[in-house]
Amino acid sequence: LRIHITPLKGANGRKMGVVCLMRDVTEQKRLEQIRTEFVANVSHELRTPLTSINGFLETLLDGAIDNPKVARNFLEIMNGESKRLSRLIDDLLKLSSLEDKKSSLNKQPVNLKELICETVKMLSARAQEKGIALTMAIPDDLPEVPGERGFLEQVLINLLDNAVKYTLSGGIIEIGALVNGKEIKVYVADTGIGIPEESLPRVFERFYRVDKARSRDMGGTGLGLAISKHIVEAHGGKIEVESDQEGSTFSFILPR
């Protein structure tokens, strides 16, 4: 609580009382804290790949470059880290552009079936490489939804990419859509490693990961689900997750 006290004086200069102004700054403090934490997280996330790249570079310059096998291994790691750094910067820019755009999406009728098919095509080679079966369950007469195509595509890519990342060889991923009254629900169900119950409410937070090391190894930025939530909510929809040891299902609902 922030309190301001101003004395009140009459015409003759005599004190007549005080004006006491109290303002609840809880929400303001909370927002400040979120912002501070976010900046600290961003700095940390940007520094981690850079530290790793610098370390390998120095070791190379100190002589490791003379051993071609070791040098190649280091260069591959540096390549992976620098790609992750670019992805991180792209994701941060996406988040901030979404924050700017919140109220001004450029909505057009979007053919979700077509969009899902394109996304599946984009990721099917990776799924196949990992020995994961990718199936679709989408009705032919799925109606169009009002939305910004590029953003909705981003959500589908994020969810499907995660399903491929967090599912082991031999697993199955199903992407489907259903019409429910005035809403359309899209889901991505996998038979992957699952998410512990206590982590479920946090997976949509920026930079939250169940297993930091695993996410990094997979090239993750920890921002995909935060971005997806932002996009779905900007479309007036809702995104949810259910998960147990048998796998996870991410779904989002969009108004028709």
Positions that interact with ligand ADP (CB under 6 A): 158, 162-163, 166, 190, 192-193, 195, 203, 208-211, 215, 220-226, 248
Give the nearest distance from C-beta 54 to ligand ADP in angstroms. 23
State whether residue 252 is helix, strand or coil.
Answer: strand
* Secondary structure E strands in 26-182: 108-110, 133-137, 145-147, 172-180
Using the minimum distance from each CB to ligand ADP, give the nearer residue, 107 or 126.
126
Q: Phi, psi (5° rounding) for residue 229?
A: -60, -45
In eight-state DSSP terms, residue 13 is S
Residue 249 or 253 with smaller CB distance to ligand ADP: 249
Nearest C-alpha neighbor of 249 from the set 182, 175, 141, 178: 175
How far is Cα 255 from Cα 181, in angstroms, rounded to an integer?
9
Give least dist CB 4 to ligand ADP, A: 42
Q: What token pair was written down for 100?
A: 């700017």
Minimum CB separation from ligand ADP for residue 232, in Å? 13
Smallest gap from residue 243 Cβ to ligand ADP (A): 7
Dihedral sign computed on CA atoms, order 108, 114, 120, 125: negative
Residue among 84 and 235 whose Cβ is closer to ligand ADP: 84
Distance CA 198, CA 208 (A): 12
26's CB contacts (< 8 A; 6+ apart) are none
CB of 66 to ligand ADP, least distance (A): 36
The token duo for 164 is: 């491929």
Give, for 88, the enclosing helix (H) or strand (E): helix 68-101
- Please say which residue, 202 or 256, places its beta carbon nearer to ligand ADP: 202
25 phi-psi bin (left φ>0, alpha ψ -120 to 50, beta other): alpha
CB-based contact 155:213 (threshold 8 Å)? no
Of 74 and 123, which has the nearer Cβ to ligand ADP? 123
Residue 112 or 173: which CB sits closer to ligand ADP?
Answer: 173
Q: Least distance from C-beta 225 to ligand ADP, angstroms?
A: 3
Name the DSSP letter for residue 195. -
In the bound state, the residue with its beta carbon closest to ligand ADP is 220
When the beta carbons of 209 and 235 are compared against ligand ADP, the nearer one is 209
What is the nearest approach in angstroms of ligand ADP to the Cβ of residue 206? 8
